[in-house]
Structure 1
Amino acid sequence: MSEHNPTGHDLRHRTPKERAERGRAARSDVPRSAHAEFTPPPKRTDPVDIIETQSAKRVQELVPIRYGRMSESPFRFYRGAAAIMAADLAETPRTGLRVQCCGDAHMLNFRLLASPERRLMFDINDFDETLPGPWEWDVKRLSASLVIAGRANGFRAKERAAVVRAAVRSYRERMREFAAMTNLEVWYTRFEADELQQQFGVDLDAKTRERWAETRERARGHDTLQVFDKLTHVVDGRRRITDDPPLLIRLDNLFPKGEGGALEREITRLVERYGQSLPSDRRFLLETYRVADIARKVVGVGSVGTRCWIILLLGRDDEDPLFLQAKEADESVLAPYAGASGFRTQGERVVAGQRLMQATSDIFLGWERVTGIDGRRRDFYVRQLRDWKGIAVSENMSPKRMALFGQLCGATLARAHARSGDRIAIAAYLGGGDVFDRALATFAELYADQNEKDHQALLDAVEAGRVAAEAA
């Protein structure tokens, strides 16, 4: 299996009939109903041990913030527990059909994003854990997230099951549509925010249409200029990032005695060197900017504690900003169970997976290595800090709205998988009935139960003083 072929199979030498037969044959080894199963093994690793192992590699002063955020609720815990679920998924049935996996396909990792053509798209956002692996793992992580969010909203069991079935049905039906398409038709498929209602044939009521229009407009307003106004101010005539400790600290203030000088030079060189991972036209555009300031930023839930730098660059003048985010890339949580990455660096792994799975990616998406003040070499990937991003608010969703959102997520995940995996085999395995849909609804409830127990284990660890948690 090469790094450019995550399926591990040369589809050029298989006919559509042979590929479909392969998918149907997989039902003999792994019946679709078998995906309902989830029984934690007797010697299941302590979930807090898994989190602590990850935390050991991170910025120690930030680790309590990670535990604090994961302690807030079962859903917040789940968002930070991709490594725990990866270990659990490794024990579940596999069809043997591989795709480029997202690795963290929970529902809030699907959102509105800008395309280079300045169109608002619906797609997957973060790919820190992306790696070739079983397609079922992404679908199961999405399904469980819907149940966990539904429980937080007080949905009844029947309502939660309906939400999951809607999302999985959307994945299955879209995959069957992609199986009938040409390779280029699949590759060019994208979900534009302004056309989603027509693309999915959804009849929205007036109130929902109004909310959706407001959501799109808010996303368009979350751009570089907005973050420039929010995160910077002028000091002695120079534009500087505004400190908001401990979540955002300028490099000068993070190392007030000047120890950060070497790191500042290294990050500045990162910006120069990472341009080699960009197409030549975008490299030229990057070179028209100069680095003006650098700060450390705390991001996300599961990512808290990883090294993340935001870099303010200025172009034509001090009112022509570009904000880049350089985020540390470690080994994917899937790697111990799906196999190590074939790329030279973890940053390239993230970027390659993102470019393969997304319909269209950030024009400044690239990778590089950085030497820290401790002398260690670390991998990073770089993208714009904010570019027309709009994230769903699960707490505001009714069962009907969450089902609609789940359908969007399911279809988007199917498109991402269809670009890299054997869409014909996967579609044939899934079939036209709802066996797999119902199985995933059962699995998602079982895993939501386990997630609540794992969340409680973290709360117990905090209460016992085993780990420290800090609200921020």
Structure 2
Amino acid sequence: MSTTTAPVRSANGQRTPRLGRRVATPYERAERGKAARATAPRSSHGEFSPSSRRPDPVEVIEEQSASRVPELVPIRYGRMMESPFRFFRGAAAIMAGDLSRTPRTGITAQLCGDAHLVNFRLLASPERRLTFDINDFDETLPGPWEWDVKRLAASFVIAGRHNGFTAAERRSVVTTMVRFYREWMRRFAEMTNLAVWYARVDVEQLESEFRDRLTRSRRRRVERTVSSARTRDSLRAFNKLTVLVDGERRIASDPPLLVPIMELLPGVQGDVLAEQLNRVIDEYRESLQADRRVLLDQYRLVDVARKVVGVGSVGTRCWIVLMLGRDDQDPLFLQVKEAETSVLADYLPASEYVNQGERVVSGQRLMQAASDIYLGWHQGTGLDGQTRYFYVRQLYDWKGIVPVDEMPPDGMRSFAELCGATLARAHARSGDRIAIASYLGRSDVFDRALAAFAEAYADQNERDHAALVDAVKSGRVTAESID
């Protein structure tokens, strides 16, 4: 909207300038949400059937793999074929195409782009408080808020099937997640902008809220997860991932999952790549706040290794960088991860960021309540002469993953509550929370629709997983099982 400085008269007759752009009123925003029901009825989100023009799912995965490190691609296929749940974690590109053909509300928010339940975990805030938030943002872009909710809903059904839940149990989990998203979005709609921005979930709050709802054994399991998360830092990574070589600490070799740079490319090529990665760290610092640049400058780079990460990210160029501060007991591990074009990009307006690393970092900062102090980005040229984009963050920073495959139905319902509320908060920071809340309303129409969608999509995911298994059996693609 345009800015105007046309003067207006106040109640006492004084003329005062009208400054800034016009912002829609809460009433107008609520009406916009209600109007969206006409173009995308809430019940319509329950429908899913594959398009007759839907591409071969294996072909979609192969297209993604074409830009990745060739010798690592079989590891990706090996991980994805293990189960429909692991397949789903690596199939964000397939689902992006499917979501593009579903009803749209026309209301946007910053999307995670890969909002499956394993991407919700314990993380450290800069103030060293353990929080619960979304973790990975490789696919982040502004888009229809409902796409994230649908991917999250489908992931709960697929995980529930993996754990042997009944249809009724899966439905209960999904409707619980969506209800908490809807109810928390309504709460955020009533809050001030700053209150939404400052909202976060600390572990202390979680322990207090869930203490009376958990059995003694479940409480112990949660306590172990929390305690383990607090030990996952650079010092633990240092002790776990390094060895002493000629009096100097070096990253230990564990091929093909972890390969030091001089083992990966011995000789001159290794020296060139090492120098490039040294330059990456020097130049990436410019994307950090000034105070964090000062902190980073107190460390020296010691060693670099290529690391295989995740399921969907296998094959992208990912490096871990060992840095040391005042002495050997002051390590810092950074992860330098390649950022490719978002899987959502073919279906949404172009990103405002040419640098894909900056796109990831900006989306993460917008959606997370508190982000890693070393989160930044870089653009560089690889040994092959290709321009590549990277984002950087700490390798370990109090990260705790909830063991989803061990969850009983009541445990997964509690986890679903947390994920639904967290996703609502992330969307409320960037999207029109009043319009979204108004669209969702007070009834459970959207909740029930998402439960139906999630079951239908889980069926499709099983067919896609079977297609990959068949492709491996026929020799069309090669899979390697390594963990």
Fold similarity call, TM over 0.5 = yes
**AA aligned opposite 2:111:** C
Contact between 1:99 and 1:420, CA under 8 Å: does it hold in 2?
yes
Relative to the length of structure 2, the TM-score reads 0.94
Contact between 2:211 and 2:219, CA under 8 Å: does it hold in 1?
no
Paired residues for 1:399-410 under 5 Å: 399-410=409-420
The alignment yields a C-alpha RMSD, in angstroms, of 1.3
What corresponds to 1:418 in structure 2?
428
Q: Rate the CA distance shift 1:180–1:111 in 2: closer, same or farther, 3 A.
A: same
Which ranges in structure 1 are unaligned for 5 or more consecutive residues? 2-9
Q: Is 1:68 aligned to residue 78 of structure 2?
A: yes
What corresponds to 2:309 in structure 1?
299
| Pairwise CA distance, 1:318 | 2.2
Three-state SS of the structure 1 residue aligned to 2:268 is coil
Contact between 1:224 and 1:323, CA under 8 Å: does it hold in 2?
yes
What corresponds to 1:5 in structure 2?
none
Aligned counterparts of 2:337 and 2:198: Cα–Cα separation in 1: 29
| Pairwise CA distance, 1:212 | 1.4
What corresponds to 1:387 in structure 2?
397
**CA offsets, 1:316-353, max 9 Å, x none?**
01221000000000000001001221113000000000
**CA offsets, 1:277-327, max 9 Å, x none?**
000000000011010000000000000000000000011012210000000
| Pairwise CA distance, 1:202 | 6.4
**CA offsets, 1:395-440, max 9 Å, x none?**
1100000011011000000000000000000000000010000000
| Pairwise CA distance, 1:201 | 9.0
Aligned counterparts of 1:203 and 1:237: Cα–Cα separation in 2: 52
What corresponds to 1:145 in structure 2?
155
- Asked which structure has the greater CA Rg, the reply is 2
**AA aligned opposite 2:461:** N
**AA aligned opposite 2:185:** M
Q: Is 1:39 aligned to residue 39 of structure 2?
A: no
What corresponds to 1:48 in structure 2?
58
What corresponds to 2:184 in structure 1?
174
Three-state SS of the structure 1 residue aligned to 2:220 is helix
Contact between 1:250 and 1:294, CA under 8 Å: does it hold in 2?
yes
What corresponds to 2:266 in structure 1?
256
Paired residues for 1:55-454 under 5 Å: 55-198=65-208, 203-454=213-464
Contact between 2:115 and 2:151, CA under 8 Å: does it hold in 1?
yes
Q: Rate the CA distance shift 1:22–1:346 in 2: closer, same or farther, 3 A.
A: same
What corresponds to 1:24 in structure 2?
34
Relative to the length of structure 1, the TM-score reads 0.97
Which ranges in structure 2 are unaligned for 5 or more consecutive residues? 2-19
Aligned residues: 464
**CA offsets, 1:189-241, max 9 Å, x none?**
00001211445796333322222122110110111111110000110011100
Contact between 1:329 and 1:379, CA under 8 Å: does it hold in 2?
yes
Aligned counterparts of 2:307 and 2:152: Cα–Cα separation in 1: 27
**AA aligned opposite 2:470:** D
Three-state SS of the structure 2 residue aligned to 1:259 is helix
What corresponds to 2:5 in structure 1?
none
Contact between 2:377 and 2:391, CA under 8 Å: does it hold in 1?
yes
| Pairwise CA distance, 1:261 | 1.3
**CA offsets, 1:129-154, max 9 Å, x none?**
00000000000000000000000111
Contact between 1:11 and 1:422, CA under 8 Å: does it hold in 2?
no
Q: Rate the CA distance shift 1:29–1:200 in 2: closer, same or farther, 3 A.
A: farther
Contact between 1:36 and 1:441, CA under 8 Å: does it hold in 2?
yes
